Amino acid sequence: MPAPDRQEFQIEADTDLDVLLRILGPFAVQGAELVDVRHALSEEGAWTVIEATGLEPERAELLRLRLLQVPSVRGVRLRPCLALVGAAK
C-alpha cells in the first residue's frame, strides 16, 4: 500500500501569544490530518513547520492561501515531503 500524500507547510509569523492556535485552525477546517508540528520562537518571529496528509494538491494550495489571511502570518511555503515508509527495525 503506497504512503499517503504528505505536504509540508513552512509558516513564518509574528510572535503573538496565540499565533500557533491561529495557524492550526484552518487545518481543522480543511480536514487535514496533522502528522508533525514544529514551532519555534525567536526575537525575529515565529516559525512553524506542519506536515499534513489527507489533502489533494488543490486543497493544500487553498489552505496555503487561507493561512496567508491569518493575522500575524508573514509568509507560507508549501512543498510535498516524503513520508518514511518501512522504517528500519
Within-domain flag for 88: no
Domain containing 14 — which CATH number?
A: 3.30.70.260
Does residue 64 lie within any of the structural domains? yes
Instruction: Provide the domain count of the chain.
Output: 1
- To the nearest 10 degrees (0 to 180), the angle between helices 19-29 and 57-68 is 150
Residues 6+ apart with CB under 8 A from 55: 5, 7, 30, 31, 32, 63
For residues 74 and 64, what is the distance between their CA atoms, to the nearest angstrom? Answer: 12
Its pTM stands at: 0.84
What pLDDT sits at residue 5?
81
Q: For residue range 10-47, what is the model confidence (pLDDT) as tens digits?
A: 999 999 889 999 999 999 999 999 999 999 999 999 99
Q: For residue 40, is it within any domain? A: yes
pLDDT at 4 over 90: no
- Grid cell of 57 as nine digits: 494538491
Residue ranges making up the domain that contains 49 = 6-80
Q: Reduced to 3 states, what is the DSSP secondary structure of residue 55?
A: coil
Instruction: Report the pLDDT value the prediction gives residue 1, as an integer from 0 to 100.
Output: 37
Is residue 51 domain-resident? yes
